[in-house]
Structure formats: structure tokens, C-alpha cells
Structure 1
């Protein structure tokens, strides 16, 4: 039996067979009415009534007026789905006081219980469940009641699919509101002036960064002075800023006079990367307000001090002139997806970091092993993204620009030049959002790669927790990290949160996934000491566990991991424990001639498609897919799993036999899945049968629609069957691949919820614990334009659909709420 939950729109899955509501009873209603009368008449005997009675017995009947019994109605029986707002409407004639109480079914919290109309949020249920309610009215000496029922059915998607469009606004279904917050350049620290958005603004260390990506909500109590995981009305938004639209950051776009970048421009670009932490609270009419003077507000940039933790700390791989001991570094960059911990910290992940470094031309000063590692990670640029290393700073001792030049100097070393600086990146970074003075920690035990995310599996007391990760590049791999320490639930409320991170994240085993053709798979441990992860490996002789972790990709190659179609975000179904992974696309599934040999047909059962999607003439998996796994025994420590492909991306007009394998329609077709998120288990969207949100980062489908976000109600691994895919090369060579596919989606289980503005990517998503507010990242709108001719004007265009021709676009976050206050999506 469960008590009624005290928070607004709360609920429980337990059955309630006694009423524990704090709503006013009939006795209290009558007493209140009589108390007022007795005061007017000079006093009389007190009366009492029992629930359901229509006549009050008096101790002194001669002193009591007998009023006519009220006439009441509780309305007709109703029905609703979990997560939706239900309104109870009662009527009473001849009464002075009324109230609603719940008398049966899973407990809910009634809003407006002392009026004729009360509302509640339908609780999560696994099957149709009846809730009963009583409406009571009292009129002096008499009272009456009436009852009604509401049958609650399991959660269902509750909106009409949004049609595809290429408008310069965020489009959501009818019945929803959109608010824009945290635009690029918005000040987040006291004293920072408003953003002019004309290229003259400075001090991005005190402003919201660019290219909004993964985000996470961290609750605060009502006073705003402590962590509160249950809070849905006040909290912190921690969000990644992956990259920049440099054409809009400067007056006339980025400049490079004589091939040298101006210090002021480079500094602005660097500071636009990283993360932001901002405090928000819900106000009147569900509007969200920013607190600019919050002690929690913070920017973390590529220049912020960092600690290196785990097996790589202090090794020769990470020694630099900045930290000759190899224990510290500066900053985080190209932060894409994320993860979180139950002890209240954020895991942010460094993705495409390699291209920021200038490196080529120093082969003579490098060892063979170094050259192999640098090539495998793509640290080969002759300039580095944005040319930051070319800056000659006014302060000659300032190394914040020189560090991006990773060329080894002849006669130099790791502590005299910046040859090792790339090894400082590619990690999972743990951040405490509740402590703005804390130093983030890079968790090297979790491996170095193009980390797309690090999403936790279910935390079970006594079991070692796991975090699931993708390496976002074509033909890269899926990983999981299993801690060496079994989970102790008491650690979730520890106050030294980063110390708890030390406990669980600094030691453990990193695994890489192998997907077998029969629908099974295995996790291969990346552990030094046994061939091929030792000195006997001819391709790359490993020297230590630190070597394995710094060169995770090479270690995974050696173990025969399955190449995947750009492994991106991971998400975990909190009910089944199944792990979902977006595979965005892959344009290199066939190599060589138009009639390639079998070895050049680089497909596998988990990545089975090669095709052409016009107008492109490239041949590969242009639209991507979503794969899912279920650990053996539903155990995060398992070494085996089963898998299938949940959804294949495709246009609804493509060949249903070999391309549109999921049978997508115009209401749910998509391309290039990227962001991924299951409803939180604290509300109906994440209970019983959780919904999953799917975001796209696409260029193949933009002739039909801007990037989008869909929502699905998935089944489980194995709910579909096998499918044989026939692939054809440009030269007419065909071959078949047998794959495993999930159940075909329907209009009730997959639909389009949101379309973004022009040239944006939809990426980054979280909700408040109650599911009634959702936060979504809108990245790089107008990325194809120029300072003089922007190709989008969002978010200025959001209100009317248009804006001034020279208004520059900005990345931003949108807050989406349901007009009636229900759970978003249901």
C-alpha cells in the first residue's frame, strides 16, 4: 500500500484500499459550516457526521437548524491513458463547502480538491485500472456524497504526427508550447552585458557557448541551496557546446591575415566550446526563468583546469609542458553526447577532438608506434581546426594557443613541446554541476576514442555498474566499461560526489562489442598482458594497460571488434535494461572497384545495408539505423548479449525489401539517427513501457524536411525476425546479408514530434523528473550561411516564422511543455 504522493501531479503504482488523503472530509465540511453558524447565533451544540451520511445527529436537537440535503453529482465515469491530465467535475446545489477525495486505485494527488473541479495526472499502469473518487458537499447540518470512476489505461503516444517541413522555426504538435532559452552568447555571469549578435561580443567565458548538444537536468530544492533529484521546478541545466559557427561569431566572419589567426578571434572561438551550467526555475504559466546571479552558473571551456584520473594518470603518454608529471590538463573540447551518475554528476564526452591539432610534418621526430597511433586517431592535420596554433599572443608566456600545435620538435621532448597534447583528449570527463569550484576529472579507465556518450546501465546493489559508449566515426565500435567496484546504494547521496566517481570510475574493465550473425554477441576485454594485447602484436606492440587505454581503437582492432555505421548515442531502457545505440550512417561500406571482391563488401549482420539514396550517388548506409542489445541474464557484468536492429532509417519512398526495412511512412520516416533518450523512470513516460526519443543529424533527407525528433514505444530484442537484404554495387555485383530486425512500427508506436529550423541538428534532450517539461538542443541553425547572408534567422524567427534578413542565427535550447500540464509525448 502506498501513501498519496505529496508533490503536484504525483502518483504511485501501488493499490490504495484506504483513503489517506488530506482533503477535507464531510465531517470537517459540516463542522466548518456549523462553526460559522454557531458563531453568528451565539453558540450551540457541536455535531458530528460519518462519511456517507446525509443527516447529522445533534446532542441538542432543539438548538440545531436542519438544512435541506445538498444535491450532488460526481459526473460520468471517465477514461484516460497514463501520463495525461484528468479533470473531475462535480456539481452541488444548496451547499456551502465541497471536496474531492480518492477512495480507490493507485494513489494520485488531486489539485483543487476543495473545489468543484479537481485534476490529477493519470498514473502509470500495466493494464486498465479503475480509480474511484468521491465528491462531497455539506450544507450546515446535512451532507451528501457521490462517486465516480476513471479507468486508466497504459501510456500511449498522445499527439498527431508533425508533417515534414523546411520552415525556419521549431514545430511541435498542437497542444504544446515552445520557449527558447540559453541562446549562444546569452550572459550567464553577473556583469556580462547583453549579447548584440553582430560579431563584436567578447567574454564567452561568461556567456552561453555555441553548438548546443547533450544536456542533463539536475534538480535543486525550493531554496536553491541543495541537490534535490526529485525537483521538477528548480534546477540546473548542464549542456555541451560541441563546436562553433565561426562565420557568425565575428563581424565579417573569421579572418586569417597572412595565415595567422588574430588572438581575439581565436580566444572567442575557444571559449565557445566546452559546457555551460545554468540555473532555471519554473514560474507562472509554466514559463522558465534564468537566474543570472546563481552561484551554480559556470562555463567550462578548453582552457578550464582538469585533473587526469585512472590508469593513464602520471604516465609518459600525458606529460606535457603544462603538467610535466602527467597529472593535469586544460579543458575539454568537442563535447557531444553525455551520461550521468546516480551520485549526481555529469559525464561529458570528447568526440571529434583530433582535428583541432596541427601535427603533420614531424614524422622524423616520431617513433613508429607514435605514427601508427596518430594515424589511427586522425591526428594528421597540417593546420588544425580554426588554426588556433598560429596565434602569436600578446603575452609570450601564454601557451593556450601554442598547445594546439602537436608537432614533435627535433631534439625536443614531451615536456618541451606539445607532442602529447592530443593524448590529453578523447576521454570521458566527470563534472560536479553542484560545485562550481570543483575541478573536472578525466576518467582514463574508460578509454580514449571519439567518445559519443557514456550512458549508465541499471544500478543494482551488489552488482558492478556498467556504462555504454559509442565511438563516433565510420567503422568504429561499441564499448562498455564495467567498474571494479560493486554498487552500494548509499553512495548515491554522498556529498563528495567526485570522490564517489573515483571509487567507481577509476578502475574497471573496458570491453568492445562483437556482433555475431546469429543474433548473439560478446564483450571482449581490453586488458593488457595476453596476446594480442601485449608486445607480441606486430601491428602495434602494447607496452602496458595505459598503452591499451590511450590507444583503445588499436586494441579493439586487435580483438576483432565489429565495425559499425558510426556508433553514436547510447540509451538504456530502465524497465528491460536493454541498451540502444544509434548508428548514424556510413558512406564507406564498399571499397575498391565497382565489382569489389568479397573482402571489399564490408557489410555484416549488424550493419547490413549498402544502397544509393538519390540525389546522392554515394553507395553505403546513408540513412543509418538503431541497434539494441540485451545482456545475458539482464546483468551489466555479462560477457554476452543478444541483439537486433530496432529501426532502419529510410525515406518512406525507398525500396521496402532492401532499404526501408522498418516499413516507415510519411509520418515517421527519418534519416541519420543521432540523439537518443528514454523517458525518466520517475514518470509515466519511463515506466511499464518506456518511450524513447530519437533525434536526427542528417543531410540525406533535408530535401524533404529539416532535422527532426521522433518518439517511439519500443518492444524488446527479438520481437521481429530475420530479414535477408540484397545489396548491389555500381558494377551490378549483388550479395545478401541476413540481419535481425525489430517489430515493424505502427502509427501508434512511432511518430514525428518535432521539426527544427533551417540547417540545424536536433541534439540534446532531457526532461524534468515529472516528465511535464522537456529540454531539447537546437544546434547550428543556418550553418551554411555567411555573416552577410545568414541562411537561418532562428531563434528570432520562432515567434513569427520570419526575421530580418541580416539577423544571425544562434544555437539554443527549447523548453517544451504540454498546454494541459500532462507528460510530454503521452
Structure 2
């Protein structure tokens, strides 16, 4: 299929098969119709499988006392503070305090029907875009021209389909800052006019490559609490795309597994793709997760490694192998090209000339993102989800501690220990029947172990070298018996409590014939709505090898689905929520969740939700905003001290075509009308800001 003249929706491979979160269009372009292929994880890991105690033997590295988590701003010189003791017990109910309403009081909005093409915010609030796809970033950037796009122009403009976002406010008066944003994937069918001209198709593919990656953009505002404007030609503005030079670091850098004819020493590569969520480090850099990279490649598809990562001998989603040999690993000299993707990427947004890094020590899989915290003695721990059905939850613990020297901190993620999670429930297996009914103890909860993959620079996986564990991490995690999860997406530690929150977005194949059945950490068969796991490492030590866990939310619309749970909060007093994706915290510790897939599960547009996680209102879900039709809510940033909320609106109008657009967000320019400067009659993925009127 020619991606620039997309087939009708009914002819897309996933049409009629989307039992879960997405439209067939998103399935095709974002994850290469992964659900139609064989399940990548075919291991028979058992939920209650015993793990030899010897496998857990390792040196003891001190972990986080959350109240003493070290937040080191860019260039800071303060030494790490000692950690205050924090209880590792998980909340078990209500009445142990009143919680905090936060600094953003609002009346929850009513869920918005999936057909509505509008961004809906609470009464008393308003919104505006900060920046849109195609907006110029540099003094020499051309204005966006929808009908005449070029790769050269797109490399100088804001990219497409924004995901992870952060607003980094500069020290001082708070009137300047940076926006850092991922550009995950593209939809050529609504980006370009249909064409059968091979030359134009090649041009469109080049534009698509340039629209991937990341953007860094300078911001200004009149004062705190007021909307931002982005700065064209800002000193720190930057575009990173599929051609940008990256360095590999860590134990696998230079490995034979990373060498290609183009990068013969295996220490560098070109480009980043599929950038989903991410995280911002205490030393002021931004992490980005390379997720659905497999759909960009054509490979032999015969090796265990290819099969485990969903790599196939079939035309790639975008057809880039017609332009560059590296996208087809059947080509001599490019056999390892697909190994160059699936990493955690780190960029320094303060230095636009710096070389971004891919951290091999953190493992290679379909990274949703990585979020870090720092323990009381300065050790860094990063939590990471592998966003595929029946894949795993990981954590990385740095070897070295945070330094007063920022340059040294830029290498903290280059060496350390890598673990994968094993969950154990504390209820009888007969009580976990797949319906989502609570066990007799009144909670889905239990204990768990962090199984070692690499510790102290040594492989802990029999028959695999360190380099093999890090490049083929899924295979290593299979071997040690990790727990198959319902698609771990964003994973965020709370710096106030030390607890970690895992968004398991859904898994409609749970319990299907020949596939893993329900367990207490994933208690529903055909899990369309997803759930939130809450984890506490033993003693709140970041490098602890054991943890306690419970399910904070079992999502869905309680008015339609009895198999929902909101930490014991009354179901008739919550906003319906489905398919949790990205999570964030406000300044008083409330959890905020953005969703991706609610239209196909509960019939409402995706949105942003606040969840109280402490006190008598623990489990209360309140919807703050709703994004336009066919869009996904991404990258929430909650600056409640400024009265500001930010989200990235990804793939609005995803199911349309260039000739029949389904959304006109954010400009809402109607065909036949005269647009204002910079506006076009097509949807433009954008980063928006919401604030009080």
C-alpha cells in the first residue's frame, strides 16, 4: 500500500480487529499492526514461578527516601541531601488524612462524545496552542505550507505527533523557559495530498523522516501564570530527527551487535524514531523512549531476536527501505541496523550543539519512556515500561552517585544494574477468575522481586553476555521469568511518597486461547480498559530487590462495567476513565493521568484526569479536559503553582484523509474560509496550555 495514498479505513489491516484502544489508522502507523502478528512473548513464564534465592544475591545499594529525593537543577552545585525516612507501607483505605485538593480547583467536566472535534476544559479555564506541527523554529525557517512540504523545511519546523512534553522554566523571574517535546510518528494520509508520482512519494517519505524525533523550543511569557509564546530563532532551539548523529554509551557501545557498514565501530548511529514518553532528570536533561521501532524495518524475520522484537520480512510501515538501505536489514552490512533503535535517549536541551546519547546500560526494548529519582546518597534509579502485550516492567540503578559537577551527571546513566519485575499476588489463584472481581481480602495486591539481568558489570543471565543482555533485553527477561504485564506504558515515581505508578494501558488478548491468563497484577481477561499499579520498593530503597504492590485503579466506566475499582472510592462519584497512558504529579502529590484509547472502549474522547492518591478521597478520579475527536492525550505537565496545565494533543482526526479531514484542531479553519496567518484547514498535532481565565 502506498502510504501517501492511503487505502480506505475499511481496508487497513486492523479494520475489524480493534478490540482494544485504537483506531486501525493508529495501529497501522504507530505500531505497525502489532496485534495482527504473532505475540512477541511466547514464553511460558508462570506468575507464581519460584526464583532461586541465589539469583537475587547481589550487593546492597541504598535506595530512595522519597522526602529526601535530590532535585538538582541544571548547573546546580548543592550536595545531595540525606534522605528522610519514609514508610514503605502502601495505603490500605480511607480516613487516614484528608488528601489535598491541589492548587487547581475545578469542577470535573462531563465526558465528551467521541465525535466532538473540540478541546474541552473546565468552567473558568481556557486554552491556547503553544506550538503546532510545522511552525517555524529558526530565523531561516520557511513558513508552513501544507501543499508544498519539503524535508529541508520540516527539519527547521516543529515535528509531528507530539508525545512526551516538559516545560523547563529558567531560574530567575520565571518569564523564560524551554519546551522539550517528542515527535513520535506520522500519518501521511492526512499530511499530504494523494499522489501516484514516485518522485513526490519519495519527497513525502523524506518529509516524514524529518518530522520524527524531538524539538527544543525557547519560551517567553509576561509573568508567571500567564500563557507562553514560543520564540522563533531562540538560541537553544533545536530539531532532532531521523538523521541526527547519536552516540552509544555504556557496556554495549562498540559491540559487534551494533556495527554496520555505516557505523563500523558500533559507537555512533543516525537518528531516533518512535519516540514515545520520556522523563526529565534532576540534572536538567531529557530522556526519550524509542518505542515501536520494529515497524520501520524490513528484516529476514527468522531469528529468535527478530521474532521477539516483532521484526518481519514484509514491507515496512512507511517504505523507507526504498530510500535508504539501513531500513532493510537483509542488505549486506546492515544486519544490525535495527539494533540501533529501542533505547533510552538522553539530550541536553541547554546545549543545542551537544551530541545526544543512547544509553545501552538501560536495555533495549519498546521503551515507553524512563523516569528517574535520586536516593538520599545520590544514587539514581530509572523505571521503564516495555509497551507491548505481555511484556515487562524494568528498573535501572546507577553505579555512581550524583555529583556537584553537572558534566559528570551527564554520564550517570552509562553504568549500572538492570532489573526486571516479578509480581506475586497474596490471594488464592481461584479468586482471580478474570472477571475483575475483588478477592476476599478486598484488594488486588501482593509482593514482588526485581530479578537481576546485569549487576556490577556482570551478566546474571545464563548463556548471555552483558552485551547480549542489553541488546536483546527481552530475551534475557524471558529467561529469568519476569511477569507478563498488560502493556506497561508510562512509569512515574512520586517524589513525595517514594511510591511508583505504572500505567498498564490494556491487553485485549489476556486470557485468549494459548495466551497468558489473568493473575492478581493483571486480573481481567480481555482487559480493554487497563489499570494502574502502585509499587513501593522495600524500605523505599531505590535499589531494593523486593517490593510491595497493589492496584490503585482498575479502569473503565463503572456505569457500564462492574469490573472496575477505584481504591475503594465510591464508583458513582468518579469520572469514567479508560486506557491510562502517561502519568504525572502536581506539587501536592496528586496523580494526573492522560489516556489513549477511550473512544474505542467507553465511547468518549480521550482526556486528562486527576486522581487523589492520599487520604479519604484516595481513588477519586476527576476529568480535567477532553481532547478532540480521534486524538490522544499525551505528555501532561502540571504546573499548579503557576495555575497551568500542559498537554500534547496527538493525532487529531487520525481516521480522515487529506481530502476529507475529520478534525481541524487547533485552528478550526473551515474549507473555503480565509485563514489567519499560519493557519491551515487540516489538523495539526500541537502542544497546548490550559489556564484560568
- TM above 0.5, one fold? yes
Distance in 2 (CA, whole Å) between partners of 1:530 and 1:296 is 39
Residue in structure 1 matched with residue 358 of structure 2 by the alignment? 442
Trace 1:123-162 onto structure 2 (pairs within 5 A).
Answer: 155=102, 158-162=105-109
1:575 CA drift (Å): 1.0
| Contact 1:170–1:798 (CA under 8 A) maintained in structure 2 | no
Task: Note the C-alpha offset of 1:256.
Answer: 7.4
Deviation at 1:652, TM superposition (A): 2.3
Structure 2 residue 464 is the aligned partner of structure 1 residue 514: no
SS at match of 2:629: coil
Contact 1:168 1:797 in 2 (8 A): no
The alignment partner of 1:286 has SS state of coil
Deviates more, 1:283-292 or 1:442-451: 283-292
Whether the 8 Å CA contact 1:127–1:154 is kept in 2: the answer is no
Residue equivalent to 1:624? 530
SS class of match (2:401): coil
With 418-427 and 765-774 compared, the bigger mean Cα shift is at 765-774
Secondary structure of 1:158's aligned partner: coil
Q: Does 1:792 align with 2:659?
A: no
Query: Given the superposition, is the C-alpha separation of residues 630 and 659 from structure 1 closer, same or farther in structure 2, using an over 3 Å criterion?
Result: closer
1:337 matches 2:277:
yes
Q: Secondary structure at the match of 1:266?
A: helix
State the alpha-carbon separation in 2 of the partners of residues 667 and 707 from structure 1: 16
Alignment of 1:566-645 (within 5 A): 566-592=487-513, 602-610=517-525, 620-645=526-551
1:751-800 deviation line (CA, Å, top 9, x unaligned): 0000000100001122448442222100000000000000111112299x
The structure, 1 or 2, with the larger RCO (C-alpha pairs under 8 Å, 6+ apart) is 2
Q: With structure 1 as the length reference, what TM-score do the two structures score?
A: 0.65
Q: CA RMSD in A?
A: 2.9
- Report the secondary structure of 1:554's partner residue: helix
2:584 to 672, 677, 680: 677
**2:653 matches 1:782:** yes
1:484 aligns with 2:404: no
Show the counterpart of 2:603: 704
Q: Aligned to 1:250, which of 168, 192, 209?
A: 192
Task: Indicate if the aligned counterparts of 1:195 and 1:201 stay in contact, CA closer than 8 A.
Answer: no
Describe the SS at the equivalent of 1:527.
Answer: strand
Match of 1:234 among 157, 172, 176: 176
Structure 2: distance between partners of 1:581 and 1:277: 27
CA 1:246–1:666 in 2, change beyond 3 Å: closer, same or farther? farther
Question: Which of these residues, 165, 182, 185, is aligned with residue 131 of structure 2?
Answer: 182
> Are the structure 2 counterparts of residues 767 and 651 from structure 1 closer, same or farther at C-alpha, using a change threshold of 3 Å?
closer
Task: Report Cα offsets for 1:604-625 as digits up to 9, x if no partner.
Answer: 1100101xxxxxxxxx100000
Aligned equivalents of 2:159 and 2:338: distance in 1? 22
Over 3 Å counting, the alpha-carbon distance change for 1:549 and 1:237 in structure 2 is same
Look up the match of 1:213: 163
Structure 2: runs of 5 or more not aligned: 1-95, 427-445
SS of 1:179's equivalent? strand
Partner of 2:32: none
Whole-angstrom CA distance in 1 between matches of 2:516 and 2:462: 31
**CA separation in 2, counterparts of 1:282 and 1:661?**
40
Count of matched residue positions in the alignment of Structure 1 and Structure 2: 569
Q: Report Cα offsets for 1:517-540 as digits up to 9, x if no partner.
A: 1211110010389997222xxxxx
Distance 2:97 2:535 in 1: 26
Whose Rg is larger?
1
Q: Contact between 1:649 and 1:672, CA under 8 Å: does it hold in 2?
A: yes
Rounded to whole Å, the distance in 1 between the matches of 2:119 and 2:330 is 44
Secondary structure of the structure 2 residue equivalent to 1:385: coil
3-state SS of paired residue (1:516):
strand
Q: Judging changes above 3 Å, is the alpha-carbon distance between structure 1 residues 256 and 426 closer, same or farther for their aligned structure 2 residues? A: farther
Question: Match of 1:275?
Answer: 214
Q: Quick check: 1:297 aligned with 2:237?
A: yes
The 1:387/1:286 distance shift into structure 2, 3 A limit, reads same
Aligned-partner SS, 1:386: coil
Q: What residue is the counterpart of 2:635 in the other structure? A: 764
* Maintained 8 Å contact 2:529/2:601: no
Contact 1:788 1:806 survives alignment (8 Å): no
> Contact between 1:231 and 1:768, CA under 8 Å: does it hold in 2?
no
* CA distance in 1 between partners of 2:335 and 2:235 (Å): 37
Q: For residues 173 and 365 of structure 2, what CA distance do their matches in structure 1 show? A: 35
Residue in structure 2 matched with residue 351 of structure 1 by the alignment = 291
1:464 aligns with 2:371: no
Match of 2:475 among 551, 554, 562: 554
1:686-734 deviations in Å (ceiling 9; x for gaps) = 23xx111101000554663111110111138xx9xxxxxxxxxxxxxxx
Distance of 1:757 and 1:658 partners within structure 2: 26
